[in-house]
Homo-oligomer: A and B are copies of this chain.
Amino acid sequence: MMMRMRMKFHEQLDDLTDRLASMCHLAGEAIETATDALVRADLPQAELVFDLTEQKQLHGPCEEQALALQAPVARDLRQVVTGVHLVSDLSRMGGLAQHVAESVRRRHPDHVASGEAEELLARMGRVAGALAGLAEQVLRTHDPGLAAELGRRDDELDDLHRRLLTLIQDPAWTGSITAAVDATLLGRFYERFGDHTVVVGRRVIFLVTGEQLSP
């Protein structure tokens, strides 16, 4: 019985590898098509990328397949896998914080940003910190209400991000191109940080209840 289970398991893994290779192929096609669209400012070509990436192969089924294993290990496996995902999200959050610090080091003793841009970045940093605090609470309490709250507070971060991009592209803005490059990257780092905290919340609720948090 155990033997049969393990054989089935390995067949599934082989099948999974094949699907992964197809996903990779699709991603390669997508980036080439997107670059083509970029170079020719070709809208239909850009739309093609969305068609490509929206193909089911680039999303859920592989993961589901990876986890569609026989009871009784299935539930434990889902938990382990979710735990491992959480580790990735949280490491990535640390990595993004590091990117912010790297840009401070790169520009020292100058400020990376100034004026309103710096103010917006400071606010993004505060919201990002608050989001991490919330995510930590979700990890400790498994409270689905708090996990939903993460999404709402992340909207605030997205809003600040939009304001930052609008600000630096305003003709009235007096900053240099380097300042614009820095602000663009920093904004992106904070935005990604926030996205990861939201995902952490969703994963914790899935880990605890087995239910997907509604978006």
Among the listed B73, B105, B121, which residue makes an inter-chain contact with A43, where contact means beta carbons less than 8 Å apart? B105
* A30 interface residue (CB < 8 Å to B): yes
Complex alpha-carbon distance, A63 and B39, angstroms: 41
**A residues 3-36 in Cβ contact with B at 8 Å:** 6, 9, 13, 16-17, 20-21, 23-36
Within 8 Å by CB of A139, from B17, B26, B31, B169, lies B17
In the assembled complex, the Cα of A24 lies from the Cα of B102 at a distance in Å of: 20
A77: nearest chain-B partner, CB-CB: B80
Given contacts A30-B97, A38-B125, A122-B39, contact A90 B23 (CB under 8 A): yes
The answer to whether A85 and B88 touch across the interface, beta carbons within 8 angstroms, is yes
Q: Are A21 and B125 in contact (CB under 8 A)?
A: no
Contact A118 B66 (CB under 8 A): no
Report whether A79 and B31 are in contact in the complex, using a CB–CB cutoff of 8 Å. no
Contacting residue for A38 out of B86, B121, B181, CB 8 A:
B121
Kindly list chain B residues whose C-beta atoms are within 8 Å of the C-beta of A148: none
Interface of A is mostly: helix
Q: Which residues of A (46-76) have their CB < 8 Å from a CB of B?
A: 46-50, 52-53, 58-59, 62-63, 66-67, 69, 73, 76
Inter-chain contact A139/B90, CB cutoff 8 Å:
no
How extensive is the interface on chain A, given as a class? Answer: 35 or more
The interface residues of chain B lying within 8 Å CB-to-CB of A76 are 6, 9
Verify A35–B94 contact, CB threshold 8 A: no
Can you spell out 30 A-B residue pairs with CB atoms less than 8 angstroms apart?
Answer: A16-B83, A17-B140, A20-B90, A21-B140, A24-B90, A24-B200, A31-B97, A31-B128, A31-B190, A34-B104, A35-B125, A35-B128, A35-B129, A38-B103, A38-B104, A38-B111, A41-B112, A43-B104, A43-B105, A43-B109, A45-B104, A46-B101, A50-B98, A52-B94, A53-B95, A62-B87, A67-B80, A77-B77, A169-B181, A184-B184
Pairs of residues from A and B, 9 with the lowest C-beta to C-beta distance, nearest first: A35-B125, A28-B132, A30-B97, A49-B101, A34-B100, A27-B93, A32-B129, A46-B104, A21-B139
